[in-house]
Amino acid sequence: MTAESGARAPITTEAVRDLLSDPKIFPGLSPRLDDDAELVLDSLGLVWFLHQLELRYGLEIDPADADGFTSVRRITEYLAGLDEP
């Protein structure tokens, strides 16, 4: 896992929800989905999600580190933790 040098805007739950709503990641994701609702990403959806994180935010995350990506809130908390020293 690496991040580009310099500060970047924090990734919010809305940003995570936007990434997840990509038809290649989670087709039919409800905009009303609760932040704590359980998500199950298949392997291709997870790889595409991680690819989009890298393109949009400069984050490289190993798929093995994404085991806890089970809800919008957990994903957001994990990504927020990347900014902590």
Which pLDDT does position 85 carry in this prediction? 58
Between residues 77 and 9, the one the model is more confident about: 77
Its domain, for residue 18, covers 2-81
* Whether the model pTM is above 0.75: yes
Is residue 71 predicted with pLDDT exceeding 90?
yes
Q: How confident is the model at residue 69 (pLDDT cuts 50, 70, 90)?
A: very high
CATH code, domain carrying 56: 1.10.1200.10
Number of compact structural domains in the chain: 1
Look at strands 2-3 and 59-60 and give their pairing. Answer: antiparallel
Q: What is the phi/psi pair of residue 21, to 5°?
A: -75, -5
Identity of the residue numbered 46 = L
CA dist 64 → 1, 43, 53, 56, 68 (Å): 10, 11, 15, 20, 10
Which pLDDT does position 63 carry in this prediction? 94
Q: Provide the token pair at 59.
A: 């984050």
Which pLDDT does position 7 carry in this prediction? 63
Residue 81: other Cβ atoms inside 10 A: 8
